[in-house]
Chain A
């Protein structure tokens, strides 16, 4: 296994000490993610004759963001290159370098346009996309076959299929069986899930790119009401405190028919001690209705350079190296990280390692971004308002309409009536 040492100094080979600078990078914290980043950064260091220092930051994204905010606002040069969640560019933009002058247009051409757009804040390209992510539906292939159901196309179908299989399995003695698990804890993950419900019903993106708040529409009401109907019926009430891992725990121990999660769960589903090994399939998340659409919320990580870096030139060089096609290909094959470059989805080696990359290409390409660009540094507040409102409805604390009414008013207030 990887030895997790916080500060790793890669020894540059045979270059004069005077030409060397040390670039500190924060990327990943654990496991394969950390290992791949270290290898990549060290290769860059060897090739350019510099040194890299890997700063291991908290793995939890909320804590990592808090740390970044603190460091950057204090003008600290402790970290040069930062790994950013897809929703952070707007929040941190003021303290990040504009990379657009340092990156050629040809380099950006193959990158997913949605990501470039996401990382552009007030005309400045503040981060380069590193890997992408999108929500997918995991299903128990064996159970669907056994009970003669197809993979659901709409949320209504999913509800019905889940109910039927759950009832049949429970009658047959599997009294822990549930229909559908997702991330319902009061945290960013609920925003991700609920955005998928809203958008798939044609219900907008919480705050649309033009700044208008779109949470209180008939589509949104229908979507949230449907989700509230799952809790306690096909979804355990505990889902209200589930994050990714809690949902995976239930599904992987064989106690759920469907699960919404990120692609990271795929290799774990098929690990040797998994109770559902070889019996799981991956599909697009269902549509809101016959005239709805398949929607998956955009996730993933970017690399950015701190405005307070003492060696911006080398830091930019490192970012460009790590986001290059060769490096992304290596990461896709070894770690299953989704590339952000379109051509890599036709690469035979990448597809051999990750069969569903090809099928789900459209999902990744068209994933729905959270409204972080338009809401900028208020995104966290918007997201917290949103997840709290949805959480209250799922928990049965509030009815859908008053909850969304209040949410709309609060968001209008936070966004100063659409001006943001």
Chain B
């Protein structure tokens, strides 16, 4: 009897957790399917679901273009930070040299910069480089938070690699670059997939830099586009459309997360637990 009660309590707890995490997203979907005045009622399911909010999102602004921008920016951020990160991680993870610990601390320090603290300086830099309202300017600015993280996590992985591998290669006369590209890179595949995924999500979700360093609708990324969706006059706030856009951009992320959940978990673990 006590066992059954315990089980029941346990399942209630699980149910509560699921409801708590999933409900807001469910509510966004419901709201996005309501049109006009129905939006202002709290029905659990719209009496007449309609897709007009979804079509409107694409018709009234270059939302397709915004999604493409986000993909381009997040993709190039991932590529760049992995390239730079893996070489740095090799140096930090495999070579004992003076100042190594200090460097790791500096890199950790950079990852705790508040974004506002670098906003005006970064804006100057981006203008000097002629990258204002340019996707590459965004890519560059995102490195500020993806790079420390990538270096940090990859260094942890790098440290785990058996030292025999490297010794054997060096006996054969291979230089550090060959060791890195031929020996370690193939083995780092899973680790790089994990960190890349996390960097992708971070870049995909960024708001403040994207708001500050782009000017035109065509150059905006998805979070800014959503925050700036507005109705047919400057005071209107179309909740239905905002919710529709939110659902559109969240679904790919959820799919990504579902497919890669094991990788994400192991990446988070490596970044934080063994740091």
Q: How far is B234's CA from A350's CA once the two chains are assembled, in angstroms?
A: 22
The answer on a CB contact under 8 Å between B234 and A33 is yes
Is B233 engaged at the interface, CB distance under 8 Å to the other chain?
A: yes
B interface residues, tally (CB under 8 Å) = 29
**Interface 0/1 of B217-231, CB less than 8 Å to A:** 111000000001011
User: Measured between C-beta atoms, what is the minimum distance from B24 to chain A in Å?
Assistant: 19
B217 nearest in chain A by CB position: A6
The answer on a CB contact under 8 Å between B62 and A5 is yes
Chain B residues, Cβ within 8 Å of A55: 215-216
Is A244 engaged at the interface, CB distance under 8 Å to the other chain?
A: yes
The answer on a CB contact under 8 Å between A58 and B228 is yes
Q: How far is B116's CA from A102's CA once the two chains are assembled, in angstroms?
A: 41
Chain A residues, Cβ within 8 Å of B132: 74, 76, 78
Q: What is the count of residue pairs linking A and B with beta-carbon distances less than 8 angstroms?
A: 88
The answer on a CB contact under 8 Å between A30 and B233 is yes
Chain B residues, Cβ within 8 Å of A246: 237
The answer on a CB contact under 8 Å between B233 and A31 is yes
Q: Looking at the complex, which of A59-67, A159-167, A212-220 is the stretch in contact with chain B?
A: A59-67
If A4-B61, A253-B37 touch, does A70 touch B217 (CB 8 Å cutoff)? no
Chain B residues, Cβ within 8 Å of A61: 234
The answer on a CB contact under 8 Å between B36 and A273 is yes
The answer on a CB contact under 8 Å between B127 and A6 is no
The one of B40, B127, B233 that contacts A264, using a Cβ cutoff of 8 Å: B233
Q: How far is B233's CA from A28's CA once the two chains are assembled, in angstroms?
A: 9
Is B211 engaged at the interface, CB distance under 8 Å to the other chain?
A: yes
The one of A59, A253, A262 that contacts B40, using a Cβ cutoff of 8 Å: A253
Interface of A is mostly: loop
A interface residues, tally (CB under 8 Å) = 41
Q: How far is B238's CA from A1's CA once the two chains are assembled, in angstroms?
A: 15
The answer on a CB contact under 8 Å between B62 and A4 is yes
Chain A residues, Cβ within 8 Å of B235: 243-245, 248, 262, 264-265
Is A114 engaged at the interface, CB distance under 8 Å to the other chain?
A: no
Chain B residues, Cβ within 8 Å of A30: 60, 230-234
User: Measured between C-beta atoms, what is the minimum distance from B214 to chain A in Å?
Assistant: 10
Q: How far is B56's CA from A249's CA once the two chains are assembled, in angstroms?
A: 20
User: Measured between C-beta atoms, what is the minimum distance from A49 to chain B in Å?
Assistant: 25
A53 nearest in chain B by CB position: B216
Chain B residues, Cβ within 8 Å of A2: 60
User: Measured between C-beta atoms, what is the minimum distance from B34 to chain A in Å?
Assistant: 12
Is A275 engaged at the interface, CB distance under 8 Å to the other chain?
A: yes
A54 nearest in chain B by CB position: B216
The one of A33, A56, A264 that contacts B216, using a Cβ cutoff of 8 Å: A56
The answer on a CB contact under 8 Å between A33 and B228 is no
Task: Tell me which of B133, B211, B236 has the highest count of chain A C-beta atoms within 10 A of its own C-beta.
Answer: B236
**Interface 0/1 of B179-212, CB less than 8 Å to A:** 0000000000000000000000000000000011
Chain B residues, Cβ within 8 Å of A265: 235
Q: How far is B228's CA from A61's CA once the two chains are assembled, in angstroms?
A: 11
The answer on a CB contact under 8 Å between A78 and B133 is yes
The answer on a CB contact under 8 Å between B217 and A56 is yes
The answer on a CB contact under 8 Å between A7 and B218 is yes
Task: Tell me which of B124, B132, B219, B237 has the highest count of chain A C-beta atoms within 10 A of its own C-beta.
Answer: B237
Is A29 engaged at the interface, CB distance under 8 Å to the other chain?
A: yes
The one of B56, B228, B237 that contacts A245, using a Cβ cutoff of 8 Å: B237
Which residues of A in the span 1-43 have a Cβ within 8 Å of any Cβ on B?
A: 1-7, 28-33
User: Measured between C-beta atoms, what is the minimum distance from B219 to chain A in Å?
Assistant: 8
Q: How far is B234's CA from A268's CA once the two chains are assembled, in angstroms?
A: 13
Q: How far is B231's CA from A318's CA once the two chains are assembled, in angstroms?
A: 27
Q: How far is B190's CA from A284's CA once the two chains are assembled, in angstroms?
A: 68
The answer on a CB contact under 8 Å between B211 and A63 is yes
The answer on a CB contact under 8 Å between A59 and B62 is no
**Interface 0/1 of B53-90, CB less than 8 Å to A:** 00010011110000000000000000000000000000
User: Measured between C-beta atoms, what is the minimum distance from B4 to chain A in Å?
Assistant: 43
User: Measured between C-beta atoms, what is the minimum distance from A4 to chain B in Å?
Assistant: 4
Residue pairs across A and B with Cβ atoms less than 8 A apart, 27 shown, are A2-B60, A3-B59, A4-B60, A5-B62, A5-B217, A5-B218, A6-B217, A7-B216, A29-B234, A30-B233, A31-B231, A31-B232, A31-B236, A60-B228, A61-B234, A63-B211, A63-B228, A74-B124, A74-B127, A74-B132, A78-B132, A248-B235, A249-B40, A262-B235, A264-B235, A268-B233, A273-B36
Interface pairs A-B: 9 shortest CB-CB: A31-B232, A6-B217, A59-B230, A6-B216, A244-B235, A273-B36, A245-B237, A6-B218, A4-B61
Known: A29-B230, A30-B233, A70-B123. 5 other contacts (CB 8 A): A1-B56, A30-B230, A30-B231, A56-B217, A248-B235
